[in-house]
């Protein structure tokens, strides 16, 4: 079910690779998924990797040589890639013992002296360094090309979006941007940094209390920011800025110099040559592009993450209340949806896409709703086994009482971003499906109930969510928890919960929000249960000196389908947890559903939150 024949494209690309770049042809060309701001979700104009491979998943790295076309993808996408790649492409399944990494493949298959081309605006500095380090011992080198070979072939490439930027009211942000910039400058002082370059769009949106819509689902706008001790330079297409933005800066005590977006590289180069740069350090995250980081002399370069990801991750009290409120509204919308679905699914004419549209309509009824926070994963039967599936007209499947239905969705509200997954069966699940579901639930519940020391890495908690699957030889090939923004990106760092090490993870701290989302996937069905949890101080029976403890509070409110549970596999503690959770769902969501007048949802919620007993 490949969506296009990539043969002609690949042969044109291979011709381009034979031209002379910096003196010589290149022997391989790497196409990453990221844009110049290393966004996870990218605009249509930046979908270069999808253009050349046909694979539309959010993550993946393509390597094209004169004889091979390889795509490295992670476990979320094994099945999707199989469906989308044509016979010109070889799928490299990351994480499996027999799959070499990109670097391992290069060192094993390319001759010494090989030149591997990369667009150095579209690769992070850290990624460049890592790959180069891994391949140079075989005499293979990355080559920074000043032209993008995909763009040269991409005749109908969409234009770069340029939508209006809007201020975020202080009642949602909780802190003026003038204050945020001062805090950033304090962090700069600690590192003797006189210049900070910010390239990540969500960091800029957070810092300036602005939101945009250049990228679907992410309320950000194309821009760069340079902070010095005296100035804040915002590089942005000024057509995006209304008078509201300058009034916003004034009311939040920040003076901002607006510069054209395209001027960033030349301005940065000038400022690097200036005196202020000589007396202090220049801070630019190694997650910025190789081109930008490489402009800064090593001797006074700080390449750690900017201070913003951690500041942004620790929500203030306004944001905490906002996120909780957003999840209440989101929970009500989900109840309306699942109640409607249960009533209508047996008619047999609902599909993954039409159902997702109905869900959007319920979310849209909620106050301060802006948009979805990512493409809804409305998936039935085999499609639910595809971890990051989203239905397309080609794959759209009829919903049925004979299949599991997995729905992973979220909204952007002015007061917060949501992300929730529930898996339901509207007919009779098999015992095996119930066992798998129960083990996924046990993992989620045990992670939710855990207590842990301040700043412990999420890696240390990941196995709580997997243990009951591991007990029987099962696992899921994705992380357990990611950070989430406050009306910002649905995935944000710097912390996370995963078996994979997260570079520069500052550990779990009070005020952070993360997802808690174990799952299990097979060819014929998939299960995922995803809640958002708040990290907060914990009161424990005992106390150790200087070792504060934390715990989670689940803020997502939507019933877990109890008919999917094998009660005998649950402990008393897990049963109590679920009953208390359901009672909270019932109490919190009913008033809002009453206000909306959705009697069907109220009835469904009451039924789904009935006390379970051994």
Residues engaged in binding a copy of itself (CB under 8 A): 96-98, 136-138, 191-192, 281, 299-300, 302, 450-457, 459-464, 467, 470-475, 499, 501, 538, 540-544, 546-547, 549, 571
Q: Of 366, 360, 363, 358, which Cα lies nearest the Cα of 341?
A: 358
In this complex, which beta carbon is closest to a copy of itself, that of residue 163 or of residue 509?
A: 509
Backbone phi, then psi, for 584, in 5-degree steps? -65, -40
CA–CA separation, 500 and 503 (whole Å): 9
In this complex, which beta carbon is closest to a copy of itself, that of residue 155 or of residue 279?
A: 279
In this complex, which beta carbon is closest to a copy of itself, that of residue 195 or of residue 605?
A: 195
Element (H, E) at 195: strand 193-198
In this complex, which beta carbon is closest to a copy of itself, that of residue 327 or of residue 439?
A: 439
Element (H, E) at 225: strand 224-228
Number of H helices, E strands in the chain: 20, 28
From the CB of residue 86, how many other CB atoms can be counted at a distance below 10 Å? 17
In this complex, which beta carbon is closest to a copy of itself, that of residue 212 or of residue 479?
A: 479
3-state SS record for 138-180: HCCEEEEECCCHHHHHCCCCCCCCCCCCEECCHHHHCCCHHHH
Residue-wise DSSP of 434-485: HHHHHHHHHHHHHHHH-EEETT--THHHHHHHHHHHHTTT---SS-SEEE--
Which residue is associated with the tokens 């989101």? 330
CB 396 to a copy of itself: min, Å: 28
In this complex, which beta carbon is closest to a copy of itself, that of residue 192 or of residue 253?
A: 192
CB 464 to a copy of itself: min, Å: 7
CB 431 to a copy of itself: min, Å: 13
CB 164 to a copy of itself: min, Å: 40
Asked if residue 494 has a cis previous peptide bond (ω within 30° of 0), the answer is yes
Cβ within 8 Å of residue 65, ≥6 positions away: 27, 28, 29, 109, 110
CB 397 to a copy of itself: min, Å: 24
CB 433 to a copy of itself: min, Å: 13
CB 584 to a copy of itself: min, Å: 21
CB 578 to a copy of itself: min, Å: 19
Q: Of 348, 372, 346, which Cα lies nearest the Cα of 359?
A: 372
In this complex, which beta carbon is closest to a copy of itself, that of residue 198 or of residue 447?
A: 447
In this complex, which beta carbon is closest to a copy of itself, that of residue 317 or of residue 546?
A: 546
């Amino acid at each position: 079910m490949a969506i296009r024949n990539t043969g002609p494209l690949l042969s044109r690309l291979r011709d381009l690779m034979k031209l002379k770049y910096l003196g010589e042809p290149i022997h391989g060309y790497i196409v990453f998924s990221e844009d110049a701001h290393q966004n996870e979700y990218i605009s249509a104009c930046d979908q270069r990797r999808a253009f050349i491979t046909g694979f539309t998943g959010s993550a993946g790295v393509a390597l094209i040589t004169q004889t091979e076309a390889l795509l490295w993808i992670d476990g979320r996408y094994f099945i999707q890639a199989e469906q989308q790649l044509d016979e010109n492409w070889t799928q490299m399944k990351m994480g499996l013992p027999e799959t070499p990494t990109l670097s391992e493949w290069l060192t094993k298959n390319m001759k010494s002296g090989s030149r591997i081309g990369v667009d150095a605006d579209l690769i992070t500095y850290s990624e460049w360094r890592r790959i180069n380090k891994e391949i140079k011992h075989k005499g293979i080198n990355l080559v920074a090309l000043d032209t993008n070979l995909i763009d040269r072939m991409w005749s109908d490439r969409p234009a770069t979006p340029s939508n209006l930027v809007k201020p975020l009211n202080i009642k949602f942000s909780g802190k003026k941007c003038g204050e945020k910039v001062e805090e950033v400058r304090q962090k700069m002082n600690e590192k003797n940094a006189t210049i900070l370059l910010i390239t990540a769009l969500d960091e800029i949106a957070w810092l300036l209390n602005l939101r945009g819509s250049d990228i679907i689902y992410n309320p950000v706008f194309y821009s760069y920011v340079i902070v010095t001790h005296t100035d804040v330079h915002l590089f942005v297409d000024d057509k995006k800025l209304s008078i509201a933005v300058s009034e916003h800066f004034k009311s939040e005590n920040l003076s901002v110099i607006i510069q054209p977006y395209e001027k960033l590289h030349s301005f940065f180069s000038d400022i690097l040559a200036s005196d202020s740069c000589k007396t202090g350090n220049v801070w630019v995250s190694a997650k910025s592009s190789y081109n930008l980081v490489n402009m800064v002399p090593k001797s006074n370069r700080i390449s750690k993450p900017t201070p913003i990801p951690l500041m942004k991750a620790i929500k203030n009290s306004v944001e905490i209340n906002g996120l909780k409120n957003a999840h209440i509204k989101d929970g009500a919308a989900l109840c309306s949806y699942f109640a409607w679905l249960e009533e209508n699914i047996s008619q047999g004419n609902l599909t993954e896409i039409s159902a997702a549209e109905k869900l959007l309509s319920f979310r849209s009824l909620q106050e301060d709703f802006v948009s979805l926070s990512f493409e809804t994963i409305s998936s039935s039967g085999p499609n639910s086994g595809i971890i990051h599936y989203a239905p397309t007209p080609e794959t759209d499947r009829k919903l049925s009482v004979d299949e599991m239905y997995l729905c992973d969705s979220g909204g952007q509200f002015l007061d917060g971003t949501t992300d929730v997954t529930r898996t339901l069966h509207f007919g009779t699940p098999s015992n095996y499906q119930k066992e798998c579901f129960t083990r996924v639930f046990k993992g989620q519940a045990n992670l939710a109930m855990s207590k842990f020391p301040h700043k412990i890495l999420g890696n240390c908690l990941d196995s709580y969510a997997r243990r009951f699957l591991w007990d029987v030889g099962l696992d899921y090939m994705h992380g357990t928890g990611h950070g989430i923004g406050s009306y910002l990106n649905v995935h944000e760092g710097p912390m996370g919960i995963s078996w994979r090490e997260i570079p520069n993870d500052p550990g779990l701290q009070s005020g952070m929000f993360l997802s808690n989302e174990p799952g299990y996937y097979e060819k014929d069905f998939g299960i995922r249960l995803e809640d958002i949890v708040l990290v907060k101080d914990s009161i424990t029976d005992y106390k150790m000196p200087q070792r504060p403890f934390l715990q989670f509070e689940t803020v997502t409110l939507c019933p877990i389908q109890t008919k999917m549970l094998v009660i005998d596999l649950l402990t008393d503690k897990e049963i109590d947890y679920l009953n208390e959770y359901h009672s909270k769902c019932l109490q919190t969501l009913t008033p809002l559903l009453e206000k909306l007048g959705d009697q069907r949802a109220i009835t469904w919620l009451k039924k789904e939150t009935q006390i379970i007993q051994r």
